[in-house]
Structure 1
């Protein structure tokens, strides 16, 4: 009951990190029908391509042994060498077909998911020996799907077998009195035709089964809202802590700005919304931005500047432009040299006249 409740809480799509963790633990999409289709398809291809050459090679080897059987010594060492030679010849004849089947078995798994090496499925779990868990697996959606697949495959393959063999019934009866070599040729033709239909049928079943297995796997990977939040905290950090750190950082920046305002040469404002404090002394390449801000911070900059006797000049276009283009402790861009130079020159003349 608790497991059903937990599964019902999993309403969120899985994150990429969650899917990667599932892959590490060996929990991947796997359709046995896809692997079976690859193996049977490779077997059909191997039979059609290598049946003749392989059988000819094995027949030649056996003919040679039977033709000289009278000359083969019956001692143990000679029989061992003969068995080894025949084994090598059979393996050479069947090597390529077996290699093709092996590669097909690998491809049937590799095409479904990335290769993964995990011992998670080998670790002992109580759920594997639990009667209740076994009962649930026995009557699960997966078990029902496997049962339905078995019935469909049995019905389709049986139907194809009947449809192929029934028109050949007279010829099959005549094979009783036919030469064995001709029987092999007819049998190979019928087997290849049957396997071709089986491969076509299994292709449709494998595609449908893979979609079903993917849906089941994806539903199993879904996360609850709490899991998503916990993962976000692990990867990105607690949002509350990050917000607090951001607040502290902004507070320190504001305090440092306000401490630098009394040393400014001029504060350029857009009466109430923007304020930019600049400093310029002889020998500097360009005026330096000591502080900037909007609304309340701009008002505070004006107050500190007024208390320290720093001239406050209203120039709305220049204030907005400087606020958008220059950062704190940076020199103003060259395109604003002329406009700022006029303001700084005006301030210098005011100070000179006041003195």
Structure 2
């Protein structure tokens, strides 16, 4: 029996930590069709850019060899050098096309996920040698999906190739009467047309397969209720995680508070340490504290207020008292009504005077 939970028990969405752990183990969504598509792109690009020059270089070398074949010495060392030169000529002709294909293959892997360095896939897993697990891999859902995908690729590519060749059927008949010098460029043009059709088909296949692989990978990461409880328990019991959560909550609260500053009526400050943003509208019972802070936060409140042309009034005793006694989104205490009313009245009179 396997210790792995049944798929039917995995009813919970995976947490961010679960997804990160899967990536750390090398379990990522990866589509072979994306790699195949990029390799075909590299091959087609090699045909467009390097096929002509590589073929001309190889032709010149071969022509030179055949014209001077009678001068080739028949000794062992000389024959070895001639063979080595021929091999090097072949490598030189194929180096650029192979370089295009290699770069395209690497791009196809990197575009799906950043490089990962892990030994997890190399570790032995005894459940892989289980006959039941092997039967599931052979006759399971994934095997049938791959089988259907292979059939669909063969059919779609076959239809695409047939459509291209059918449109060129008149030209194909003339290939038999062509000279070799004219035949090779014609074959190259036809090959590029075929590759263009195949690439168009593989682009659709690759996009669809990547979406399926992504969906399948996400489904594999789903969790049972017990796994979710265990992860929550482990995460909440970690002091570093708690500190990180507190930091995130403080940052979010600070961001929400700063977003309220532009609505303030007045900012009451101690010039260097405290800042309290108050809002008051006609008919309102008492001014409400929208934001408050000391030092760096107070400086940020003053900067936001200056950017939105909100009056800033320096009153150190009142700023310190309000900071100590009023909370965010609460009305100011009764004992500060008179002092705040004087400040708000001054600001409103200033606004009317400006208007």
Give the TM bin, normalised by the shorter chain: 0.5 to 0.7
Shift of 1:171: 3.1
Shift of 1:33: 0.5
Q: Distance in 2 between matches of 1:193 and 1:321?
A: 75
Shift of 1:77: 1.5
Shift of 1:168: 3.0
Deviations 1:106-125 (A, max 9, x none): 11111111211233223332
Partner secondary structure for residue 142 of structure 1: helix
Q: Distance in 1 between matches of 2:163 and 2:323?
A: 84
Partner secondary structure for residue 112 of structure 2: coil
What is aligned with 1:276?
none
What is aligned with 2:46?
46
Partner secondary structure for residue 168 of structure 2: helix
Structure 1 stretches lacking a partner, 5+ long: 243-317, 326-335, 340-355
Are the counterparts in 1 of residues 37 and 203 from structure 2 also a CA contact under 8 Å? yes
Q: Name the larger-Rg structure.
A: 1
What is aligned with 2:133?
133
What is aligned with 2:82?
82
Q: Distance in 1 between matches of 2:3 and 2:107?
A: 35
2:77 is the alignment partner of 1:73: no
Deviations 1:290-333 (A, max 9, x none): xxxxxxxxxxxxxxxxxxxxxxxxxxxx99974559xxxxxxxx
- TM-score scaled by length of structure 1: 0.64
What is aligned with 1:100?
100
Q: Distance in 2 between matches of 1:321 and 1:46?
A: 70
Are the counterparts in 1 of residues 38 and 104 from structure 2 also a CA contact under 8 Å? yes
What is aligned with 2:156?
156
Q: Distance in 2 between matches of 1:92 and 1:20?
A: 44
> Aligned in 2, Cα 1:127/1:182: closer, same or farther, shift over 3 Å?
farther
Structure 2 stretches lacking a partner, 5+ long: 243-319, 328-335, 340-355
What is aligned with 2:122?
122
Shift of 1:222: 1.5
Partner secondary structure for residue 132 of structure 2: helix
The farther-off stretch of 133-142 and 209-218 is 133-142
What is aligned with 2:184?
184
The farther-off stretch of 30-39 and 116-125 is 116-125
What is aligned with 2:204?
204
Are the counterparts in 1 of residues 40 and 199 from structure 2 also a CA contact under 8 Å? yes
Shift of 1:90: 2.4
Q: Distance in 1 between matches of 2:321 and 2:227?
A: 47
Shift of 1:207: 0.3
> Aligned in 2, Cα 1:173/1:125: closer, same or farther, shift over 3 Å?
same
What is aligned with 2:213?
213
Shift of 1:83: 2.2
Q: Distance in 2 between matches of 1:68 and 1:5?
A: 73
In the TM superposition, what are the counterparts of 1:1-355 in structure 2 within 5 Å?
6-237=6-237, 322-323=324-325
Q: Distance in 2 between matches of 1:232 and 1:73?
A: 80
- Runs of 4+ residues over 4 Å off in structure 1: 1-5, 318-325
The farther-off stretch of 170-179 and 100-109 is 170-179
Shift of 1:153: 1.4
Shift of 1:174: 3.1
Deviations 1:155-195 (A, max 9, x none): 11111222222243343233223222222222111111011
- TM-score scaled by length of structure 2: 0.64
